């Protein structure tokens, strides 16, 4: 690690603030740094490494494909691209087509483009508007930044593309009021990731589906973090039994190999014409091989494994929440564990293997301080907001590793004075 931060500062854009650790190797749910120290990875590269680090099946698939054919561009046919698209269409429920790209932002950019192309073709030239949610995060390109419901991120890059409006997340009435005659699509995350794993009220996605269907506009669901089994189902929207018109994927799709996917119903996808969209690297044979191998690893875990380890993780986080303390001298009683006995403002949110532990407004230390303390104890978690810690371990995590991670997290919270 000696000198690496200084070397980085001299040659890389100053867009990241990193803790003083250099990871050099990963295996399963564990990482090792340049000093040989071992860590439990409960972030998974921000919900990317769902199959675990260096999974043999993924390594074998990528190595074999790269040794055979690494790239041809999209000017020619390649089998892995078609095979992956077939698998994704099947998981989406059939009658759909896929555009493959390199990242989540690109997947959402394609979704916005197809929505506008479809809107103009089906309902009129001015049907281009997109309604999104406050707190939502959809990427950092200019269009996806405009769709992102975090106004503080916008000023340095204005003027942003027009046509985007935002409503409170989880408020079906506000969503209904915002959809109008020039709306082409509603763009939502089933669960908001970067906002701190915000889970909407039950029935919200069903209401969004009804609202968009009645108005004749598209429902686009951003499943870049929530998809690929993260919530215990292949797609998070499957928990509510809805089918969107468009769904976007990335992150865990390639086990760390860059790939994104935009899946649209056939009717919507067929609004596009040759030359309307394209990519040099998207859907290249190696990325598709990585994605196909990743699917082979994670899909068997959705038959019960994720639900089982999720229950232990949730129970452990609720136990930690019961031990949280605040800045004031007032302390809630620790009696029968009822909600009234818990420190106000603290919360456990999430589903599957995707959770936030919110330390609350009275926390005597920040989530960043807690995450650094956890890192010092060999646990990788993320301060997704000022008060919330995000946990997204690989789906291959075991109950024993969950127990070990919770113990390390508890010790870190005690170290910074957040737990009694």
Domains of the chain are 4-55+304-415 (3.90.1150.10), 57-301 (3.40.640.10)
Query: Token match 């990788």: residue?
Result: 380
Q: How much of the chain exceeds pLDDT 90, in percent?
A: 95
Tokens coding 154: 């916008």
Lowest mean pLDDT among 117-126, 288-297, 314-323, 333-342: 333-342
Long-range contacts at 342-346 (CB < 8 A, ≥ 24 apart): 346/321
> Which residue, 252, 235, 316, is CA-closest to 52?
252
Compute the average pLDDT of residues 278-292: 98
- Per DSSP, the residues of 358-396 read E--TT-SS-HHHHHHHHHHTTEE-EE-SSSEEEE---TT
Contacts of 116 (CB under 8 A, 6+ apart): 127, 128, 184
Question: CB of 308 within 8 A of CB of 315?
Answer: no
> Which pLDDT belongs to residue 340?
57
> Which pLDDT belongs to residue 339?
58
Span 147-180, pLDDT tens digits? 999 999 999 999 999 999 999 999 999 999 999 9
User: How many angstroms separate the CA atoms of 47 and 101, rounded?
Assistant: 18
Compute the average pLDDT of residues 384-390: 98
How sure is the predictor about 420, in pLDDT bands with cuts at 50, 70 and 90?
confident
**DSSP class of 149:** B
Per-residue burial over 289-301, b if 16 or more Cβ lie within 10 Å, else e, is: bbbbbbbebbeeb
Q: How much of the chain exceeds pLDDT 70, in percent?
A: 97
Q: Give strand pairing partners of 27.
A: 30
Span 61-109, pLDDT tens digits? 999 999 999 999 999 999 999 999 999 999 999 999 999 999 999 999 9
313 phi and psi angles, rounded to 5 deg: -65, -45
Question: CB of 280 within 8 A of CB of 245?
Answer: no
Bridge pairing between strands 218-222 and 183-188: parallel
> Which pLDDT belongs to residue 369?
98
* Nearest-10 crossing angle of helices 285-298, 79-92: 40
Span 111-149, pLDDT tens digits? 999 999 999 999 999 999 999 999 999 999 999 999 999
By three-state DSSP, how is residue 406 classified?
A: helix
Question: CB of 188 within 8 A of CB of 221?
Answer: yes
User: How many angstroms separate the CA atoms of 175 and 207, rounded?
Assistant: 9
Compute the average pLDDT of residues 255-267: 97
Write out the catalytic residue numbers: 137, 222, 251
Bridge pairing between strands 260-265 and 379-380: unpaired
> Which pLDDT belongs to residue 338?
57
- Per DSSP, the residues of 160-190 read PPS-EEEE-TT-HHHHHHH--TTEEEEEE-S
Does position 329 have pLDDT exceeding 60, yes or no? no
Query: Token match 């994704």: residue?
Result: 88
Question: CB of 375 within 8 A of CB of 41?
Answer: no
In angstroms and rounded to an integer, the radius of gyration of the C-alpha atoms of the chain is: 22
CA 145 vs CA 187, 273, 282, 324: distances in Å: 13, 25, 21, 35
């Amino acid at each position: 690690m000696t000198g690496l931060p200084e070397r980085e500062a001299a040659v890389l854009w100053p867009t990241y603030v990193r803790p003083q650790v250099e990871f050099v190797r990963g295996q399963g749910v564990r990482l090792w740094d340049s000093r040989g120290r071992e860590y439990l990875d409960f972030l998974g590269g921000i919900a990317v490494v769902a199959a675990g680090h260096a999974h043999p099946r993924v390594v074998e698939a990528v190595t074999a494909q790269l040794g055979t054919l690494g790239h041809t561009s999209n000017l020619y046919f390649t089998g892995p691209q078609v095979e992956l698209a077939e698998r994704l269409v099947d998981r989406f429920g059939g009658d759909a087509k896929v555009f493959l790209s390199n990242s989540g932002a690109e997947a959402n950019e394609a979704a916005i483009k197809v929505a506008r192309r479809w809107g103009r073709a089906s309902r009129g030239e001015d049907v281009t508007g997109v309604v999104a949610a406050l707190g939502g995060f959809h990427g950092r390109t200019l269009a996806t930044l405009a769709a992102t419901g975090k106004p503080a991120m916008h000023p340095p890059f204005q003027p942003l593309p027009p046509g985007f409006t935002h409503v409170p997340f989880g408020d079906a009435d506000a969503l209904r009021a915002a959809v109008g005659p020039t709306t082409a699509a509603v763009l939502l995350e089933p669960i908001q990731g970067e906002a701190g794993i915000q889970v909407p009220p039950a029935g919200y996605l069903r209401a969004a589906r009804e609202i968009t269907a009645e108005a004749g506009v598209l429902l686009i669901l951003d499943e870049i973090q929530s998809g690929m089994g993260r919530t215990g189902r292949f797609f998070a929207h499957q928990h509510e039994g809805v089918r969107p018109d468009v769904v976007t994927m990335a992150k865990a799709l390639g086990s760390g190999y860059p790939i994104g996917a935009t899946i649209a119903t056939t009717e919507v996808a067929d609004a596009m014409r040759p030359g309307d969209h394209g990519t040099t690297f998207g859907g290249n044979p190696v990325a598709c091989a990585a994605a196909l191998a990743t699917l082979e690893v994670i899909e068997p875990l959705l038959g019960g494994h994720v639900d089982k380890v999720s229950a232990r993780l949730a129970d452990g986080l609720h136990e930690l929440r019961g031990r949280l303390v605040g800045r004031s001298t007032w302390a809630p009683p620790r009696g029968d564990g009822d909600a009234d006995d818990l420190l106000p403002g603290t919360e456990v949110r999430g589903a599957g293997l995707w959770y936030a532990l919110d330390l609350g407004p009275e926390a005597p230390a920040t989530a960043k301080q807690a995450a650094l303390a956890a890192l010092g104890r060999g646990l990788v978690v993320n301060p997704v907001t000022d008060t919330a810690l995000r946990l997204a371990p690989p789906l291959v995590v075991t109950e024993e590793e969950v127990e070990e991670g919770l113990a390390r997290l508890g010790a870190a919270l005690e170290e910074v004075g957040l737990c009694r």
